[in-house]
Amino acid sequence: MTEADTRSRRRFLKAASILSGGVPMLASLNAGAQQAGEAPVMAYVGTFSSPLQDVLPTQVDLPPGNGRGIHLFRLDRSTGELQEAGLVEMGTSPSCLVFNADGTRLYSANETDRVGEKAHGTVSAFAVDPATGLLTLLNTVSSGGEGPTYVSVHPAGRHLLVANYFGGSVAVLPILPDGRLGEASDVKVDEGEIGPTKATNAPPGSFAFSGHDRTHAHLIESDPSGRFVLHVDLGLDKIFVWKFDAEAGRLSPNDPPSVSLPPGDGPRHFDFHPNGRWLYSIQEEGSTVVHFDYDGERGRLTERKTLSTLPPGYAGSNFCSGIHVSPDGRYLYVGNRLHDSVGIFAIGGEGDLTYVGEEWTRGNYPRSFNFDPSGRFLYVCNQRADHVTAFRIDPGSGRLEFTGHYAPVGNPSIIVFRELKPAP
């Protein structure tokens, strides 16, 4: 067992009781869900659970670590309310979570972990009980760099992809047959010229500055085919495209190896349309969304159009956060921090975007958001407000209606969902 494994197992001794009193409550939930013809759903919220300043003292504007690890909730599928159901205590800031395809394994990026005395990120693997949603730690391994901020599972299910924000690197981790993680089969360190501290497309009067001090890998995901892997580097203002060797778990540069965004705009996240032909990239400091055509045969991006994520006339600072296409492919949603809104765009027949409006998140600094399995609700992680808010989605317009439900969580970073097996 590695030092990281030993340390992490000590941190997870409380995992066996993560749902205090949860089994009877889950049984009741199962019965209600069966009557409604839908499976019960659990929500998992990853948090900043230790101060990033302790690990990265030179960085500014970092969350204080109000979370306690991975917080579990039961979802009321009729009202959208989240009911507290348990906790996996982790002092390592599991700020990004992802399930494998069948929901039997959950992986967490532990952003503030250390290896020995050195700040060095780790990734943990958990088994998921299909009936209760309980998590059991399988193992923890190095993420291949500092500050892992994003993890995704390759479509073939045999590799986990990791973006190390503070390390400026991306890594490929083998997923073993039992769901545990192996040591990295490949690590790539970003290199290039750092962009300016003033974004090309920033709103008038903006002082938004976050990642143009060095390289910062922020997101990594495969394309729908699994043949290519894309990742963004905010500091370099680039989206990198890699050919992926699924047997060896290795990355090699595509031709061309990257596409550039306007200097200083800072690409943060992207999302593919369900048809696989369009990609939308959000820029953290420029407060823009860029629509690309995607050639899946060659792994090439062609820029189509750039739009602001903010309402007309906005002036001042804003930091964009998340971006998601709705499951039906009709709408695009973007997160605005400081403006504290979710921007809404309609997607046209050629992938073109039309601004619909925005909805206040009822909190502060929306770091991310996600849809529930039904696609009827959208949940926002308001990082500085220490809560998650629930919104009902109007299927006709894409607009959001606040449900009135808040779920208290310290420094929430991400929310993911898992449908459980109905009770027999």
Domain count, the chain: 2
pLDDT at 37: 66
Q: Give the pLDDT of residue 422.
A: 74
In this predicted structure, what is the pLDDT of residue 24?
A: 33
Q: Answer whether residue 424 shows pLDDT above 50.
A: yes
Tell me: do 23 and 74 sit in the same domain.
Answer: yes
Q: Pick the residue with more confidence: 54 or 207?
A: 207
- Residue 12: per-residue pLDDT: 38
- Could you tell me if 52 and 103 lie in one domain? yes
What is the model's pLDDT at position 120? 81
Is 306 in contact with 289 (CB distance < 8 Å)?
A: yes
Q: Are residues 214 and 90 in the same domain?
A: no
Residue 59: predicted pLDDT: 54
Residue 303 lies inside a defined structural domain of this protein: yes
> Nearest CA to 415 among 389, 385, 395?
389
What is the strand order of the sheet 331-337 is part of?
319-325, 331-337, 341-347, 353-360
**Judgement on whether residues 204 and 347 belong to the same structural domain of the protein:** yes
| Cβ neighbour number for residue 186 with a 10 Å cutoff | 20
Do 148 and 264 have their domain in common?
no
- 176 is a domain residue: no
How high does pLDDT run on average in the chain?
90
Phi, psi of 124 (to 5 degrees): -115, 145
**pLDDT reported for residue 114:** 75
Query: Tell me, what's the pLDDT at 113?
Result: 85
Residue 128 resides in a domain: yes
Same domain, 288 and 407: no
Domain annotation covers residue 26: yes
User: What does the pLDDT average to over 398-402?
Assistant: 98
pLDDT tens figures, 52-90: 656 555 554 678 899 999 999 999 999 999 999 999 999
What is the spatial distance between Cα 113 and Cα 143, in angstroms, rounded to a whole number? 10
Determine the structural domain holding residue 424 and report its residue range.
Answer: 1-152+366-424
The predicted-structure confidence for 117-139, as pLDDT tens digits, reads as follows 676 899 999 999 999 999 999 99
Whether residue 351 has pLDDT greater than 50? yes
Q: What is the reported pLDDT for 50?
A: 85
Which of the pair, 26 or 140, is modelled with greater confidence?
140
Residue 178 lies inside a defined structural domain of this protein: no
Q: What is the pLDDT of residue 90?
A: 96
For residues 305 and 402, membership in a common domain is answered with: no
Sign of the Cα torsion 88, 91, 93, 99 reads: negative
Shared-domain flag, residues 290 and 316 = yes
Q: Where among 318, 337, 360 does a domain terminate?
A: 360
Do 234 and 279 belong together in one domain? yes
Question: 231-287 pLDDT, tens per residue?
Answer: 999 999 999 999 999 999 999 999 999 999 999 999 999 999 999 999 999 999 999
Q: Are strands 319-325 and 331-337 parallel, antiparallel or unpaired?
A: antiparallel
Q: What local confidence, expressed as pLDDT, does residue 210 receive?
A: 84
Residue 169 lies in a domain: no
| 154-190 tens-digit pLDDT | 999 999 999 999 999 999 999 999 999 999 999 999 9
Q: Which two tokens stand for residue 38?
A: 């839908």
Rounded to an integer, the average pLDDT of 281-303 is 98
- Inform me whether the pLDDT recorded for 20 exceeds 50: no
Domain limit, last residue, from 307, 336, 360: 360
Mean pLDDT of 297-317: 98
Task: Choose the final residue of a domain: 333, 360, 387.
Answer: 360
What share of the chain has pLDDT > 90, as a percent?
Answer: 83
Residues 195 and 218 placed together within one structural domain of the fold: yes
Q: Give the CATH number for residue 268.
A: 2.130.10.10
Q: What is the pLDDT of residue 58?
A: 52
Residues 420 and 385 in one domain: yes
Q: Is 192's pLDDT higher than 60?
A: yes
Residue 4 shares a structural domain with residue 142: yes
* Residue 260: other Cβ atoms inside 10 A: 15
pLDDT above 90 (res 35): no
The answer to whether residue 182 sits within a structural domain is: no
Question: Would you say residue 235 lies in a domain?
Answer: yes
Confidence of residue 296 (pLDDT cuts 50, 70, 90): very high
